[in-house]
Amino acid sequence: SIPAHALFVTEENKERKDDKSASDRQRRAEALRRVELFAPLEEDELARLADALHAAPFTKGEVLTRQGAEAHWLYLVISGEVAVRVAKDGIDTEVARLGPGSFFGEMSLMTGEPRSATVAALADVQCYRLDATAFRDLLARRPQLAEPIARLLAERRANLAAVTEGLDAEAKRRRMESDSSDLFKKMKAFFKL
Ligand code: CMP
């Protein structure tokens, strides 16, 4: 027997397109509100930022970004969970898991270095990506976001170093302190804050 196919066609008129982009926009703005980093932003700033986001869905097991790669994006995790893994002696070691409301990829965008770790999807993951220019523009407009990012970045770097260089807790703490102020100075100079 021949299977029956039904084809449903919805006309894409302008009104419908506007509706769609308005609801997409709203969804993006709501997602941003769940990212603690962006808590200081006003509604209009969130809306502007929402416009610059690109939806990036990944399926379980997919690699979102690879250690050593050149960086172009900051990632916001909206749903699902990712694992951050660093290669040491040819073996990948998990250093962290990140879930909804977290972000990653800030290191390369802030320092210009290649990706410090591989990030892979542990489940189906919904992300938004923000390109490097939009991220830098945001920091230039909102310098107060730079400090919490620098602090988190230093903490993450120290955790990475704990694995790759075998730092103990005290060495890790010292590394984080020196890194943190150093990074913040570099960022201030880089972004002319
Ligand atoms: P980037 O180096 O651009 O790409 C890999 C990302 O993994 C990195 O930015 C951080 O956002 C993230 N990352 C690296 N190390 C850690 C860590 N110890 N904890 C959480 N996230 C990390």
What global pTM score does this model have?
Answer: 0.86
pLDDT of residue 67: 97
pLDDT of residue 8: 66
pLDDT in tens, 97-108: 999 999 999 999
Ligand 1: lining residues by beta carbon, under 6 Å? 65, 71, 84, 95-96, 104-108, 115-117, 119, 156, 159-160
> Does residue 170 or residue 191 have the better pLDDT?
170
Please state the φ and ψ torsions of residue 112, each to the nearest 5 degrees.
Answer: 80, 0
119 C-alpha vs ligand 1 centroid, how far in Å?
8
35 C-alpha vs ligand 1 centroid, how far in Å?
16
Residue 155 CA, closest ligand 1 atom number: 18
**Nearest residue (CA) to ligand 1, atom 18:** 156
Residue 113 CA, closest ligand 1 atom number: 2
Q: Which of 64, 104, 113 is the best mutation target for the ligand 1 pocket, counting ligand atoms within 8 Å of the beta carbon and taking the most?
A: 104
**Nearest residue (CA) to ligand 1, atom 16:** 156
pLDDT of residue 190: 67
What is the average per-residue pLDDT within 36-50?
90
pLDDT of residue 192: 63
What is the average per-residue pLDDT within 34-39?
88
181 CB contacts (<8 Å, ≥6 apart)? none
117 C-alpha vs ligand 1 centroid, how far in Å?
6
- The band of 180, judged by pLDDT with boundaries at 50, 70 and 90, is confident
25 C-alpha vs ligand 1 centroid, how far in Å?
27
Core vs surface per residue 147-158: b (16+ CB within 10 A) or e: eebbbbbbebbb
Residue 136: both structure tokens together? 């830098």
What is the average per-residue pLDDT within 43-48?
90
- The band of 70, judged by pLDDT with boundaries at 50, 70 and 90, is very high
pLDDT in tens, 90-146: 899 999 999 999 999 999 998 889 999 999 999 999 999 999 999 988 988 888 888
